[in-house]
Amino acid sequence: MEEEISQRSITLIVQTGKMTGKVFLQAIQKYLDILKQQQQQKSRDKQLHPAYQGRMTIKKLMKERSGLSNIEIHDEHIHDFERIARRYGIEYAIKKERSKEAPHFLLFFRARDTDILQTAFNEFVKKRLKIQERPSLREKLQKLKLQHTERAAHVTEKVQRKEFVR
């Protein structure tokens, strides 16, 4: 209980010859003015330096009036790039081209983020190549199944030869 009260209390130090209600009211008014100025400063800072938003619409991306650039991506696994872009703090917008038959995406980003985007895009390409090189689990199981059937056939041949020889 005491901890809650101490967290909510403030201390005002006022130098005065005589503490009257008027002086107390002026001190509180001054304190409230300072709080209001601090809140206004925080809102100005947010407007000048908005927080990272990641994926957004093209309209929101264009609001800052900085030049936009775009890259074409022909990979259907765009969600892998989204994870990497979040890690690098890139603000971007993705638009799917519906006129193309194969998956075709346009990735819009701010022109000032080109170096960061280049690094993120290289990481995305490496990840996609690594996934493509790795065979799927079903393919591995199919190969093991074939090997197992071949070994079983070989063992049955040996057993039949032994019986035939006797």
Per-residue pLDDT tens for 3-42?
776 677 778 888 888 989 999 999 999 999 999 999 999 8
Residue 128 in domain: yes
In a domain, 47, yes or no: no
Q: Are residues 56 and 93 in the same domain?
A: yes
- Specify if 15 maps to a domain: yes
Q: Looking at residue 5, what is its pLDDT?
A: 63
Do 35 and 56 lie in a common domain? no
CA distances from residue 125 to 37, 74, 109 in whole angstroms, order as listed: 48, 12, 18
Please report whether residue 134 resides in a domain: yes
Q: Convert the pLDDT of each residue in 45-58 to its tens digit.
A: 777 766 666 777 87
111 burial level (CB within 10 Å; 0-12, 13-18, 19+): exposed
Q: What is the mean pLDDT of residues 55-78?
A: 76
Query: How much is the pTM?
Result: 0.45
pLDDT value, residue 1: 60
Do residues 35 and 60 share a domain? no
- Which structural domain, as residue segments, surrounds residue 29? 2-42
Residue 166 in domain: no
Answer yes or no: do 63 and 34 share one domain.
no
Number of domains in the chain: 2
Residue 165 lies inside a defined structural domain of this protein: no
Confidence of residue 111 (pLDDT cuts 50, 70, 90): low
Residue 146 lies inside a defined structural domain of this protein: yes
Q: Is residue 92 scored above 70 in pLDDT? A: yes
Same domain, 12 and 89: no
Mean pLDDT, residues 104-110 taken together? 81
